[in-house]
């Protein structure tokens, strides 16, 4: 009965002011909050649904909560969590760049990706990691039964934290060609420069989402990925026009709520094979959990948690 009670409470939503004391944060709970996902907004996050069952199954006395943190206050949130004895946290939009700046140590993989989505509070440091890339690759393999290696990949919305991380990971995985598309070019031009520095032999194309040649380039790619926030609202349009899709393509949207975005609907209408971000959420979460608890095996519990959603 007690375990079930904890599971029911796993979706608690807090704000930065709630990190002022343990008494305030844990009022009404027997188990302390020691892990969290921070974002703005963050109420929609499904992360507690998978992390809490994994914690419960492993017998770890900790709650995983959601904390709304305004832009510009991530470093303060980290400081308060450290003071309250948090193990770590996940980071979602729009904080992945700010989180990287707020960490005292950065994992080399996150350094190359240019963003942090997972933080571990160590004795003398706040260490940042990025599990988006490994989670994405595992999701692509699971959904489409194809490896990233040797594919031509287009990433729409590559200027954001998730987009930059996935672009960098695609380069590390050995894709043949990388097409980066974004509303504004300044962010992705800097990203392309960084990727070319690490991977000088990789062809990287950069263009605006409104560029008239984009649909033609998109049809040449075997994998199209949306990493922008366009699609989170029910009436959002697709970031790519309908003529960008073709039969047999693999099309992946990192958004998982709603499960069918205009981006995926347009791809399905053209005969493409599609998948949403639920599997990426799962796999990046597995990687994050193992960073906090090395040697753990949370996958089965996390799958059940998400399925029970």
Find out whether 232 and 260 touch, Cβ atoms under 8 Å.
no
Phi, psi for residue 89 in degrees, rounded to 5 = -160, 160
Cite the DSSP H helix spans in 159-258: 161-173, 185-198, 214-219
- How far apart CA 169 and CA 175 sit, in angstroms, is 9
Q: What is the largest CA-CA distance in the chain?
A: 59
Beta bridge partners of 250: 223, 273
Closest by Cα among 223, 112, 251 to 171: 112
Active site residue 66: no
- How far apart CA 58 and CA 54 sit, in angstroms, is 6
Considering 66, 96, 149, 187, which one is annotated as catalytic? 96
Taking the CA atoms of the chain, what radius of gyration do you get in angstroms? 19
Strands (DSSP E) contained in the chain are: 13-15, 33-39, 63-68, 88-91, 105-106, 118-121, 126-129, 152-156, 177-182, 203-208, 223-226, 250-253, 273-275
- Catalytically active residues are 96
């Amino acid at each position: 009965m007690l375990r079930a009670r904890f599971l029911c409470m796993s979706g608690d939503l807090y704000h930065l002011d709630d990190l002022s004391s343990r008494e305030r944060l844990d009022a009404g709970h027997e188990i302390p909050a020691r892990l969290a996902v921070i974002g703005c907004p963050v109420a929609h996050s499904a992360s507690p649904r998978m992390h809490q069952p994994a914690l419960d199954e492993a017998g770890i006395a900790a709650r995983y909560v959601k904390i709304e943190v305004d832009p510009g206050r991530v470093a303060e949130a980290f400081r308060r969590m450290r003071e309250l004895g948090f193990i770590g946290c996940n980071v979602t939009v729009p904080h992945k760049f700010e989180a990287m700046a707020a960490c005292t140590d950065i994992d080399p993989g996150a350094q190359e990706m240019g963003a942090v989505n997972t933080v571990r509070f160590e004795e003398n440091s706040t260490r940042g990691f990025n599990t988006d890339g490994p989670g994405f690759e595992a999701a692509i393999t699971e959904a489409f039964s194809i490896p990233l290696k040797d594919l031509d990949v287009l990433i729409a919305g590559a200027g954001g934290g998730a987009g930059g991380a996935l672009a960098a990971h695609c380069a590390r995985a050995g894709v043949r060609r990388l097409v980066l598309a974004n509303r504004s070019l300044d962010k992705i031009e800097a990203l392309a420069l960084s990727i070319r520095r690490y991977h000088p032999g990789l062809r990287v194309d950069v263009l605006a989402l409104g560029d008239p040649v984009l649909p033609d380039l998109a049809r040449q790619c075997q994998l199209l990925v949306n990493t922008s926030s366009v699609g989170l609202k029910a009436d959002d349009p697709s970031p790519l026009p309908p003529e960008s899709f073709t039969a047999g393509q693999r099309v992946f949207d990192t958004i998982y709520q709603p499960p069918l975005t205009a981006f995926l609907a347009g791809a399905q209408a053209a005969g493409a094979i599609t998948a949403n971000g639920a599997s990426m959420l799962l796999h990046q979460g597995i990687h994050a959990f193992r960073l906090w608890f090395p040697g753990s095996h949370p996958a089965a519990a996390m799958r059940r948690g998400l399925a029970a959603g």
